[in-house]
Amino acid sequence: LQTLPPVQLAQKYFSLFPSEKDPLWQDPCEDKRHKDIWSKEKTCDRFPKLLIIGPQKTGTTALYLFLGMHPDLTSNYPSKETFEEIQFFNGHNYHRGIDWYMEYFPLPSNTSSDYYFEKSANYFDSEVAAQRAAALLPKAKIITILINPADRAYSWYQVGDQHSESVLSISVPRCTSKTTGALSLHMGNTLTFILFVPPAQLLVLDGQMLKTEPASVMDKVQKFLSLTNIINYHKILAFDPKKGFWCQLLEGGKTKCLGKSKGRRYPDMNTESQAFLREYYRDHNIELSKLLYRMGQPLPSWLREELVHTR
């Protein structure tokens, strides 16, 4: 029997089966053949059981902070390039393999039932993340946050405004041009995750409520995660009037809030832009409401309001 050295063998293999060049990592513990050839040192307990998939600008960093305050939940280690986000399932990091991904989580201790989570806000609008996440983490719970797309557009607009050299007045075309693409994806990719994740594993949060009543939202999240140790977030979060947002309450009554780039202060959107965006997102919002209804998910309060205006 003749064989080639590994690299040449791989080249030969992929020339015969080019479609297999793009890997789809699966949970090694789901398939005995994979588990048998995997190192004995490794464990599938080093994978997250919860993913916060985004989208960006909806409060994902706040949720990440609040979850990290729970004693039974452990977030990933930060990345040098992308800070608190690993961004594994959406981009080139995926090709670094599952060992690379696992290194972002602590080695599980034998005694505790570690519950790891990660948030990468651009999983939401990735075309590949849903399928990849479902293949590797078929039992993981998924949280997505939805806010009014008009507010999301305005939040993006504010980022552009801070970074652009010329000071532009808030005009409707500028407000929308930056976000049209993102928002049409916004719809399509909600569906993608729905296709791959069983409904009971998916929680849709109202981003407006996360902003105004985070402790109640955290009650809901803890229930969804089936945690036995329920923490009262009403006692560990406090509204910081200076920041204008809810923050972590520290000993001595001080608060620890998110950084300057999260929860920025800017003027309310002008009525002309509001009206334009309401009309612009009208059909999207109607579709979203139908989708949530089919999924058995409650409609966020902002969506109910928008639907009232479309009548």
> Among all residues, which ones are annotated catalytic?
57
- Tell me the per-residue interface mask from 158 to 197 with ligand A3P, x by CB under 6 A, - otherwise: x---------------------------------------
Minimum distance of ligand A3P from residue 55's CB (angstroms): 7
Closest approach of ligand A3P to the CB of residue 291, in Å: 21
Q: Is 141 marked as binding a ligand?
A: no
- Give the residue with the Cβ less far from ligand A3P, 57 or 70: 57
Candidates 89, 246, 280, 281; binder of ligand A3P (CB under 6 A) is 246
SS3 240: strand
Which pair of tokens denotes residue 200? 């009971």
Cα 233 to Cα 66: distance, rounded to the nearest angstrom:
8
Q: Taking CB under 6 A as the rule, does residue 153 contact ligand A3P?
A: no
Residue type present at position 134: A
Closest distance of CB 262 from ligand A3P, Å? 4
263 is in an annotated binding site: yes
C-alpha 102/C-alpha 83 separation (Å) is 16
Exactly one of 51, 53, 62, 277 binds ligand A3P (CB under 6 A); which one? Answer: 62
280, 187 in Cβ contact below 8 A? Answer: no
273 is in an annotated binding site: no
| Separation CA 270–CA 172 (nearest Å) | 9
Secondary structure class of 60 (helix, strand, coil): helix
The verdict on 245 binding ligand A3P (CB under 6 A) reads: yes
Name which of 267, 268, 263 is nearest 244 in CA terms: 263
| 213 Cβ contact list (under 8 Å, min separation 6) | none
Instruction: Report the residue number, 143 or 197, with the smaller CB distance to ligand A3P.
Output: 143
Nearest CB to ligand A3P, comparing residues 18 and 267 = 267
Q: What is the b/e burial string over 144-171, where b = at least 16 CB atoms within 10 angstroms of the residue's CB?
A: bbbbbbbbbbbbbbbeeeeeeeeeeebe
Q: Give min distance, CB of 58 to ligand A3P, in A.
A: 5
262 touching ligand A3P, by CB under 6 A: yes
Give me the residues that bind ligand A3P (CB under 6 A), please: 56-62, 121, 155, 158, 210-211, 245-246, 258, 262-264
